[in-house]
A and B are shown apart, each in its own frame.
Chain A
Amino acid sequence: MTETVKSLSHLELGERDETFLGSNELIINMGPQHPATHGVLRVILKLDGEKVLGTECVIGYLHRGVEKIAENRTYSMFNPYVDRMDYVAAVSNGLGYCEAVEKLLNIQAPPRANHIRVILTELNRIASHQLWLGTHALDIGAITPLFYTFRDREEILKVFEKYCGARLTTHAFRIGGCLYETYEGFERDVKKFCDFVQPKIDEYEELLTTNRIWVERTKGVGVISAADCKALGVTGPVLRASGVKWDIRKAQPYANYSEFDFEIPTRGAGDTYDRYMVRMAEMRQSLRIIRQAVERIPEGPIMAKVPKVIKPPVGEIYHSIEAPKGELGYFIVSDGSTQPYRVRVRPPSFVNLQALDSMVRGQLVADVIAVIGTLDIVLGEVDR
């Protein structure tokens, strides 16, 4: 335990309560196997009684050196590794990587491929938000939403399985478009899913939104202001819940998002309740996009003309997409050979987790678990 105390030394602590009874500080170690830390995250809490004075996150338990591996694989061989980072939203990882390399190769995926990509990414966003809602509600004590959300998420995983054979780490896209043509009945399944899940989202809201105890446990908990979000580089639903109307799908559209009309839900207070509302609204917006995309899916090739051996010209580019957790960016440096010289992944969970300390300071221990839940972090992406 001594080395953790040393590492906490730098923490400038919140003001301590000079109580009459002079309660002593407590250093508690939460994780890395704690049930509510969504994977292997270890949080060292410095407590004054029940109040949190300061926290420090110890990460790296799931570090697999993805960026080092990238330098020893060819471009298309690295594709499956990308799904293993944020294993909950694997499809968006794949989309980001493929589009980055396509940008390097200066080629454009055909419209049909783009439509398929948008449909699958938005389905994946709903699945990721559902998983988030289930586990987040479970941490705060509501047992039932977990079963509802996982039952509905199962439908999405079935569509993935039918389309590309895998449920979670799908490896659905290839550089230049999609490899698999949509199975017949794909549109029917997706439409059926949309109609199936639309009332289900209202069902989640019925359970939680006006539930007094849920409101009391989430309103005013883990507040972060818009300025802090920008300074800490926090993106995604957390940023939008603090009132910043910014979404890469609108700001810098990629993969023909510009053709679909959808809004970006934002709320002002930047607390756990607002992040919950933003993500619920985002699920509905994703459904709108999917419905439009399924209607207008054009015929045509699904793969652009890509050389058999991908050797992009020398140069570097940065391409980022709106993953369910925030801005997921790929900075690829190519030296003209078949293997990337350097692939840097900018993971949203890693940067959002950094905001945990400022959001939790002064709150109670029970809120630390609620805030970790609301940040929606996936440790595969944090540790890479």
Chain B
Amino acid sequence: MLPEKGAGAKPATPPKAAAPAVPAKPTGPVPGAWDSAMVARFKRQYGSGIEALTYLGQNYMVVDRSLIPNLLLLLRDQEKFEYCVDITAVHYPKRERQFDVVWILYSFEKNERVRVKTMIGENESLPSSVEIWPTCNWLEREVFDMFGIRFEGHPDLKRILLPEGWRGHPLRKDYGIIQQDKEWVQINLGIESGQ
């Protein structure tokens, strides 16, 4: 039986990049500010809600939740990020707004990849970006399936990998690794438990 790992060793660095308090090891690379023409344009347009950073050469923007639908639209139309590589989420149980939802976008013309991150709370929901990139249909369904984040306006938001009647969202940190929806297993598979 695997030792149950503590609930998240240490909260990840809050966006304001406080120095990671790792005693012995010299501080690793720190996400620095990222400014480019595009970032400047967005800052002028949206003011405070955007914070552009770069880490190990990869640029990403931490964006306020309210900007989501139109910022992405802007990114696709003006900045030519017409390929939405991936949508995923990360769960930080300790923070007050627990989920990081990450869009990874890529532009063929500029051969450039950017990540847009936003933070939402437990039962907050996000506008779906299926209209912007049709590929988000399944990607958002998987994020909903694994984290329970609802996307309004999604044509058919239901579980994609787990069976439909399953209760619980596995990729949340509070969902133990050997935990299982025992009731579903008993009803549908007719066996006592999956273990």
Contact = CB atoms under 8 A, between A and B. Distances in A.
Interface of A: 3, 7, 10, 59-60, 63, 65, 67-69, 71-72, 103-104, 106, 230-234, 244, 246, 251-252, 311-318, 320, 327, 329, 331, 333, 335-337, 339, 341-342, 344, 346, 350-351, 354, 383-384
Nearest to A65: B170
Nearest to A62: B161
Given A60-B160, A106-B56, A336-B22, A314 B135 contact: no
B104 A351 contact: no
Interface in B77-92: 82-86, 88, 90-91
A314 B13 contact: yes
B170 A233 contact: no
B191 interface: no
Given A311-B25, A314-B13, A350-B138, A341 B90 contact: yes
B69 interface: no
Closest 10 CB pairs of A and B: A313-B28, A233-B135, A60-B161, A344-B88, A346-B86, A10-B156, A63-B161, A337-B9, A342-B90, A314-B20
Interface string B41-81: 00000000000000110100000000000000000000000
A246 B107 CA distance: 11
A359 B34 CA distance: 40
Among B102, B158, B159, B175, which residue has the most Cβ atoms of chain A within 10 A?
B102
Contact of A251 (B12, B28, B31, B111): B111
Given A318-B104, A383-B161, 5 more contacts: A72-B177, A314-B13, A317-B56, A318-B58, A342-B90
Interface residues of B, number: 52
A327 B85 contact: yes
Given A60-B163, A68-B170, A103-B56, A233 B104 contact: no
Contacts of B133: 231, 233
A332 to B, nearest CB: 11
A354 B138 CA distance: 7
Contacts of A72: 2, 5, 177
A333 B20 contact: no
A337 B6 CA distance: 12
A60 B135 contact: no
Contacts of B29: 106, 313, 315
Contacts of A354: 135, 137-138
Contacts of B84: 233
B55 to A, nearest CB: 5
B16 interface: no
B9 A336 contact: yes
30 contacts: A59-B161, A60-B159, A60-B161, A67-B146, A69-B177, A72-B177, A106-B56, A232-B134, A246-B108, A312-B28, A313-B27, A314-B12, A315-B28, A315-B31, A317-B56, A318-B58, A318-B86, A318-B104, A329-B86, A331-B86, A331-B104, A336-B9, A336-B28, A337-B10, A341-B90, A342-B90, A344-B86, A346-B86, A346-B104, A354-B135
Nearest to A56: B156
Contacts of B138: 350-351, 354
Contact of B177 (A68, A331, A342, A351): A68
Contacts of B31: 315
Given A68-B177, A329-B104, A232 B135 contact: yes
Interface of B: 2, 5, 8-10, 12-13, 20, 22, 25, 27-29, 31, 55-56, 58, 82-86, 88, 90-91, 102, 104, 108, 111, 113, 115, 133-135, 137-139, 146, 155-156, 158-164, 170-171, 173, 175, 177
Nearest to A234: B135
A318 B28 contact: no
Contacts of B104: 318, 329, 331, 346
A232 B190 CA distance: 39
A175 B10 CA distance: 24
Contacts of A315: 28-29, 31, 55-56
A109 to B, nearest CB: 16
Nearest to B173: A71
B162 to A, nearest CB: 6
B94 to A, nearest CB: 11
Given A3-B164, A320-B85, A383-B161, A68 B9 contact: no
A276 to B, nearest CB: 24
A119 B158 CA distance: 42
Contacts of A335: 8-10, 12
A384 B135 CA distance: 18
Among A327, A331, A342, A354, which residue has the most Cβ atoms of chain B within 10 A?
A342
A226 B85 CA distance: 16
A232 B55 CA distance: 28
Contacts of A329: 85-86, 104
Contacts of A331: 86, 88, 102, 104
